[in-house]
Amino acid sequence: MSVLHRHEIDGVPSTRVACVQMEPHVGHTTENVTRSIAAIEDAANRGAELVVLPELANSGYVFSSREEAFGLGEQVPNGPSTDAWIEVAQRKNVYVVAGIAERDGDRLYNASVVIGPSGFLGRYRKLHLWGDEHLYFENGNLGLPIFHTPIGRIAVAICYDCWFPEVFRILAIKGADMVCVPTNWVPMPGQKPEQLAMSNMLAIAAAHSNGLNLICANRVGTERGQSFIGQSLIIGANGWPLAGPADAVTEQILMASINLKQSRHAKQLNAFNHVLGDRRLDVYEVALKGGFDTS
C-alpha cells in the first residue's frame, strides 16, 4: 500500500490519524484481517495514533445469502477479528476503528469496533441500512456513543449514516472531536466520473456545519458485480480536506494531523456566528415533531 502524508499543523501538538483504503474479499476473513493488520502497523510506524478501516473490513460486503452473512458474523468483543485488532492496537499503542459483521445471538449487525491500547472500548451499530443490508442486518440499537480517550472524543458513523445530518449534529452536541466513518461507498445515480463524489460532498458539509473532524475510510474494487468508489478522505473541523480524496482504485493509507484545540473552536465561525449556538430550536422542534409527508 502506498502512504500519502499531509502535515497540516506545523509546530503545534496534534493527533495523527489515518484511514486505510483497501479491498477486502468477501468470505476471506483471515486474509482480510491479516492485510488490515499490516496496514495498521504501517500507519502506526509512521506516527498514526488512530487508524480507521472500511465498513465490514474483515468479512467483505456483498453477501450471497442470509446464511453466508451469519456465517461470516463474529462475536464482539470475543471474536477472532476483534482479538487480532486488539493485539495489534496494544502492541503498536494505537486506536483502531474497524467495520465488522457482529453476531449477537440470532441477530446480525453492521457494526464497528472501537479499540485502544488498553483493549476493547466499545462498539457502534449502523443506524441506517442501505439496500440489501436490510436482508441481513438489524437496525442499530446502541444510539450514537462517544468514546472518551486521551487523544480526543471519538465517535463512529457508518456509510449511509452520512446521508442523515441529524447524526453529525447529535454527535457535535455530545462533544465529539473526531467521527470515524468506516464505509463501502458505491456510485450514486447520475454521478459523473469527473465530479466530486456525493459521499464526499456530504461528509465535507457535515464537518463544516458541525465543527467535526471526519476520517472516512472507503474500500475499492468490485465484489460480485458491485463496484466501490474509493475516494477516502480526512476532513478538518472547518470543512476543508486534510488528506485526500484518494483515487478510486488504489489501496492507500491517508494520514493527517488534527489539532483538538483548534478543532473545538471551529464551531465559532466569526464573532457573531456559532454553528450550534445559532440553531432555532423553537422552529425545528415543532416542525420535526410533526413527522414527514410521504404523499
Cα–Cα nearest to 213, from 156, 294, 269: 156
What strand order describes the sheet that includes 2-4?
2-4, 252-258, 15-21, 50-52, 95-104, 107-116, 119-125
Q: What CA–CA distance (Å, rounded) separates 212 from 177? A: 6
Catalytic residue, from 23, 55, 74, 102: name it.
55
* 159 counts as catalytic: yes
User: Is residue 174 annotated as a catalytic residue, yes or no?
Assistant: no
| Catalytic pick among 19, 49, 92, 126 | 126
How far is Cα of residue 128 from the mean position of the Cα atoms in its chain?
Answer: 14
Is 223 a catalytic site residue?
A: no
| No. of helices (H) and no. of strands (E), the chain | 8, 15
Core vs surface per residue 276-293: b (16+ CB within 10 A) or e: eeeeeeeeeeeeeeeeee
> Which of the residues 159, 162, 180, 216 is marked catalytic?
159
Catalytic residue numbers, as ranges: 55, 126, 159
